[in-house]
A and B are shown apart, each in its own frame.
Chain A
């Protein structure tokens, strides 16, 4: 079978099954069975597929995925995340567009504390949106910042997706986690600047009103009591990796433990919160890991059938500039992101992309950050970006997906600008991981 026929069978077959609503994990398993049967010697191939599945997730490098989820879910269900928002709210005072800035500020902190974009968006949407509507903010000033900061959780450590990307693409997980920190913070600043520009262009977009002004002592008290202790969680996750005291897996366990300790300290550690957090963790963790179990042999079949090398030879045959290849990969990620979840996109594209990254001498950690940014964008690109639907779900009745997508456009532009900046100045992503290495 020619390489393009093999590629069409595997990739086309997978997309066909997915589009007809087969769960992604099972669609991978089904097409892999067909693939191994044809290319890897019939029943023996299926036994090999089963053997691969036993090693797919039994890896210490993947352990931070459930642990970061436990952390984020506990922060959400114990109400610790809301306390951070309330404290920050006191700091902003009567500034115009206060709640939009609060969304970006609080969202960035919550992104640093949790690893889940969906939890981030849902929490910001349900907590801040009603107040913003009541105060007379225009819808795009509400939905835009919420969508934008929701995606930050994917880049700013701890990010479950960065762990998955690192371990699947064989990129140093700790380095990739840390590499996202500076670009993530730059992006948050760009989001704040966008709000400022939007208010300057349309002063009516955010109402000017005299918010209840907290006294200086109240502000200090709120910061010390509600925000500062969260530094323990950030230290447990990011600090322990930066200092080289713990691996990402170990720091994830300490992160989860620190949230439990803080929740107990605040008297918020109820049985109900723990049960709901563990249920949320299990749902997302098992769903993600099942996709890895299902898709683990996919890249091997692509390689075995000659589809990978054929596709790579085809792509390099044009003798394009390295940055055009990068642009092509970026566009593929964005297009796939319009209708597919991030993990499936990774499993589908990494077998082709990583050899290209090696061939064109891109730094894998830098490419990992670019890929995470592309995946973040794919969450908010219409028509099927998952965060758009979450946003519609938590918005008032009558909100259409088009309204939400339009609100996201300036923030999508910020992310694209950051990708450009990172392409011109890769050190923004690579400096911190380099520091750890040295």
Chain B
């Protein structure tokens, strides 16, 4: 189905954007230090953009991590449970995750809208509209909730076995 294929590519594309943004801040920091130490004026936006990328890369990769079981979870106790009970507990956990993330997606969007209405500004090394951070959170939480919903609809449970920690 085309919309689903588009959605799959979107989740992976976001993760790629997250990785690219980390590479870009590495370069930005180096350029900043070199400029500062060679008598040039460093860019004013560097530290603000670097700080925003930290949240962007996290929220952009978070839905992909749900898909790849990359968020760390304690599986040892679940493994001790009999299979039917483990499945049941796993389903309950997935539903609880959807509710939690859905609620946070909604509240982040609501607070973000208030920020738009009040034209609030986040003052860092440059001024950035405050809604930007809330939009990242709302989008990230919402897509994570969708990924858990995808697990639920497929009858799968979250295992956390793909964690790279």
**Footprint of B on A, CB under 8 Å?**
17-26, 29-30, 33, 43, 46-47, 49-51, 53-54, 56-60, 62-63, 66-67, 70, 118, 245-246, 249-250, 253-254, 256-257, 278-291, 293, 339-341, 344, 383-384, 386
Specify the chain A residue showing the minimal Cβ separation from B23.
A278
Interface string of B1-39 (1 = CB under 8 A from A): 000000000000001001110110110011011000100
Q: Is the CB of A253 within 8 A of B73?
A: no
Q: Is the CB of A253 within 8 A of B26?
A: yes
Report, nearest first, the 8 A-B pairs whose CB atoms are least far apart: A286-B61, A23-B71, A253-B29, A54-B133, A289-B58, A283-B164, A278-B19, A58-B51
> For the complex, what is the distance from the CA of A269 to the CA of B70, rounded to whole Å?
26
Q: Is the CB of B71 within 8 A of A25?
A: yes
13 other A-B residue contacts (CB within 8 Å) besides A50-B111, A63-B51, A246-B33? A17-B96, A21-B73, A21-B160, A22-B97, A23-B72, A49-B104, A53-B104, A54-B137, A57-B58, A60-B51, A70-B23, A281-B19, A287-B71
Using a Cβ cutoff of 8 Å, how many contacts connect chains A and B? 191
Is B126 part of the binding interface, using a Cβ–Cβ cutoff of 8 Å?
Answer: no
Determine chain B's interface SS by DSSP, over half rule: helix
Is B74 part of the binding interface, using a Cβ–Cβ cutoff of 8 Å?
Answer: yes
Which residues of the other chain, A, contact B20 by a CB distance below 8 angstroms? 278
Which residues of the other chain, A, contact B74 by a CB distance below 8 angstroms? 18-19, 21, 24, 339-340, 384
Q: Is the CB of B26 within 8 A of A256?
A: yes
Q: Is the CB of A63 within 8 A of B29?
A: yes
Q: Is the CB of B33 within 8 A of A253?
A: yes
Interface bin, chain B: 35 or more
Measured CB to CB, the closest approach of chain A to B32, in angstroms, equals: 8
Specify the chain B residue showing the minimal Cβ separation from A275.
B19
> For the complex, what is the distance from the CA of A59 to the CA of B165, rounded to whole Å?
22
Specify the chain B residue showing the minimal Cβ separation from A245.
B37
Which residues of the other chain, B, contact A278 by a CB distance below 8 angstroms? 19-20, 22-23
